[in-house]
Amino acid sequence: LENLGIGCTFNGESASSENSLYTLLHVAFPALKSGESLLSYLDLYGIAASGGSACSNLQATDSHVLTALQASPDAQHIRFSFSKYNTPGEVDYVTQSLSEIYENDRRTFHPKRLRNDLNERFFEPFKVSLI
């Protein structure tokens, strides 16, 4: 995940193979520029994951666990759970999907392009010729 270049960080001891559970990976991903939920995109790709922390999965407030870990409130916190039945191919599919999601987000959401689109849509009809 770190090699994808999307700026994700591991929450708690998730990056440590010695101090964490091998069946759980908790990652903070940067917010998508489009404002969409990363968890929703993962679901569209057929990837089962959870958001936030297990202690506050259905609560509307910030997780006390993520607050204690000093996790960024702006990040999208995703939990991946694994079992002995998961294959390396499935893990590769998740990383490839994440790469594609962030690449599509970068490609489709450009503030300059958005500004140009808005200018065309709202200001073009009001342009006056000074001939």
Backbone conformation region of residue 83, classed left if phi is above 0, alpha if psi is from -120 to 50, else beta: beta
Question: Closest Cα partner for 56 from 67, 45, 48, 46?
Answer: 67
Q: Is 8 marked active-site? A: no
| Burial of residue 61, with CB atoms counted within 10 A of its CB: 0-12 exposed, 13-18 middle, 19 or more buried | exposed
The residue from 21, 55, 68, 114 that is catalytic is 55
Neighbours of 121 (CB within 10 A): 9
Question: Which two three-digit tokens encode residue 12?
Answer: 């708690």
Question: Which two three-digit tokens encode residue 87?
Answer: 């294959």
Neighbours of 129 (CB within 10 A): 4
| Residue numbers annotated as active site | 55
